[in-house]
Amino acid sequence: MKNSSELYPYRYETHCHCCWCSACARSSPQEMAEAYWRAGYAGMVLTDHFLRGNSAVDRTLPWEEKMRRYYDAYEAARDWGKEKGFHVLFGLEHHYGDGKEVLTYGIDLPFLLENQGLHLLPLEEYAGLVHRAGGFLSMAHPFRDRDYINMAVKPQPEYLDGAEIFNFYNTEEENKKAAKFAKKHGLLPTSGGDEHFAGGSSIGRTGIALRTPVDTGKELVEALKSGDYGLIVNGEVIPVSG
């Protein structure tokens, strides 16, 4: 019988940042791609902070320019990975208020260009647009307790597809609450390094593990929705179903 690592050999980081688009990040998109590639990952989803979060994108630029900045970072990482067979996918970490954030997968540049002002919408409307476009929302670190987060505001599972039940820089207690929350509401679990630095210690310890490689946001969403994948928790692959 195959063990989980053999069953799900393709590892993807689902939550990481680069300094082109996240003010809190230290490494370039290419440096991040290289770090995950060296650690044996098949790919990564670049999830930079969107405009209401800790974005490094100049907010005074016209909408199209701002959206292109996000895509430029993704394309730089993707191009770095191309000849190595390392798959980089586009994503965002959207702050919708009160320190609460959702990881957004399966969207692309045309979606962003069509939806000017997207970052200002209430979560309900943001989620509606993302879902209509075939995207997927996993709440980032749902129970993280920090000064910048309003703990009185609870996660809203009705707008989510998944929840990040293992975030490397969360406490064990915070992650446990997230796992309970996901289970209670039938949300798909994700695991993320929330890494901001190519030398960071989460690399190799977090993410999801897939049966077959994915190369587009749509394929990633399909793989997640199938429930047939593994969660990487401290480097160990744990099957999501069964």
Residue the block writes with tokens 């790919």: 43
CA distance 89 to 31: 15
Residues 42-81 as x/- pattern, contact with Zn ion by CB under 5 A:
------------x---------------------------
Are the C-beta atoms of 165 and 190 separated by less than 8 Å? Answer: yes
Q: Which is nearer to Zn ion, 8 or 161 (CB)?
A: 161
Q: Which amino acid is at 56?
A: A
- 21-44 exposure pattern, b = at least 16 Cβ within 10 A, e = fewer: bbeebbbbbbbbbbbbbebebbbb
Q: Identify which of residues 86 and 168 has a Cβ nearer to Zn ion in the complex.
A: 168
Which member of 13, 48, 93, 161 binds Zn ion (CB under 5 A)? Answer: 93
Q: How far is the CB of 25 from Zn ion (least distance, A)?
A: 6
182-241: contacts with Zn ion (CB under 5 A): 194
Residues near 24 by beta carbon (within 8 Å), at least 6 away in sequence: 17, 49, 54, 196
Q: Does 13 bind Zn ion (CB under 5 A)?
A: no
Beta carbon nearer to Zn ion, 93 or 161: 93
CB of 160 to Zn ion, least distance (A): 16
Residues in contact with Zn ion by CB under 5 A are 24, 54, 93, 194
